[in-house]
């Protein structure tokens, strides 16, 4: 029978690791794709491939180190001639579990498992309100006026109301950062501010391999520099557009 393991195969299976090693990743586009396979016994035909246990896409900087890590862990990397420029470095699939798991999901699960619980702060140590002297009156009044004007834009009656921001933040130099839920919402603000033509939309990839669509535009509003922005996954943008 040809499917009976040989002694060399049994010995090889005993020393082959079960899980894939941690592989390098970054936000750059990939240039190389590896199939990761278990090694085969030396008594088998050289054309025989070991079991497929994973795939990984890597950028030019990390493809070499990753191949060394894979080999050192007891697996064999096979380079493929595929165009993977649209895939982030470190993306791929791990087939060693009962169900296939993306490498990005595995990294996120590891981060969550290693995260330390947030320390609970006693209510007795939380100040109810800061003393007025801690903040100059000019800053307090200027910020209050800006928040009032933002509220008016979002609660307009005579004109179409703008989408309400998710976050309004004042920087140390009194610039204003307004974060909206979606790029479409941010674009409405850009039109009212008169800077729609200066807006920038770009896609990026975070360290976990997730793609993000970022919309930003800068303006001067009522004498203050203001930045309007939104950050969303492209899939969420499509869902919002079709809703």
pLDDT over threshold 90, residue 154: no
Cβ-Cβ contacts under 8 Å for 28 (sequence gap 6 or more):
59, 61, 88, 89, 205
Average pLDDT over residues 146-150: 89
pLDDT over threshold 90, residue 107: no
Cβ-Cβ contacts under 8 Å for 157 (sequence gap 6 or more):
none
Cα 26 from Cα 16, distance rounded (Å)? 28
3-class DSSP state for residue 133?
A: helix
User: Which pLDDT belongs to residue 35?
Assistant: 93
pLDDT over threshold 90, residue 234: no
Cβ-Cβ contacts under 8 Å for 211 (sequence gap 6 or more):
88, 203, 204, 205, 233, 234
pLDDT over threshold 90, residue 133: no
User: Which pLDDT belongs to residue 44?
Assistant: 54
CB hemisphere CA count around 49 (13 angstroms): 9
User: Which pLDDT belongs to residue 61?
Assistant: 93
pLDDT over threshold 50, residue 15: no
**Which of 41, 34, 17, 23 is CA-nearest to residue 96?**
17
3-class DSSP state for residue 186?
A: helix
Sheet strand arrangement including 52-58 = 76-80, 32-37, 52-58, 92-94, 101-102
On average, the pLDDT of the chain sits at 80
User: Which pLDDT belongs to residue 127?
Assistant: 60
Average pLDDT over residues 150-174: 84
pLDDT over threshold 60, residue 64: yes
Percentage of residues of the chain with pLDDT beyond 70:
76
Query: CA angle, 8 as apex, 6 and 14 as ends, to 5°?
Result: 105
pLDDT over threshold 60, residue 67: yes
């Amino acid at each position: 029978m040809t499917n009976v393991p040989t002694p060399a195969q049994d010995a090889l299976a005993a020393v082959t690791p079960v899980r894939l090693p941690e592989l390098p990743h970054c936000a750059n586009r990939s240039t190389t794709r590896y199939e990761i396979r278990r090694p085969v016994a030396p008594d088998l035909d050289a054309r025989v491939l070991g079991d497929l246990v994973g795939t990984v896409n890597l950028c030019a900087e990390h493809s070499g180190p990753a191949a060394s890590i894979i080999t050192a862990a007891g697996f064999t990397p096979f380079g493929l001639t595929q165009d993977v420029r649209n895939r982030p470095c470190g993306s791929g699939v791990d087939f060693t579990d009962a169900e296939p798991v993306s490498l990005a999901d595995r990294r996120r699960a590891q981060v969550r498992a290693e995260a330390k619980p947030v320390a609970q702060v006693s209510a007795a140590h939380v100040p109810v309100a800061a003393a007025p002297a801690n903040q100059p009156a000019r800053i307090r009044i200027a910020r209050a006026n800006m928040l009032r004007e933002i509220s008016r834009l979002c609660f307009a009656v005579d004109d179409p109301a703008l989408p309400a921001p998710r976050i309004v933040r004042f920087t140390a130099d009194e610039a204003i950062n307004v974060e909206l839920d979606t790029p479409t919402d941010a674009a409405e603000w850009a039109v009212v501010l008169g800077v729609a033509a200066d807006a920038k939309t770009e896609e990026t990839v975070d360290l976990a391999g997730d793609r993000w669509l970022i919309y930003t535009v800068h303006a001067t509003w009522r004498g203050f520099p203001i930045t309007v922005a939104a950050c969303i996954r492209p899939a969420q943008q499509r869902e919002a557009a079709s809703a």
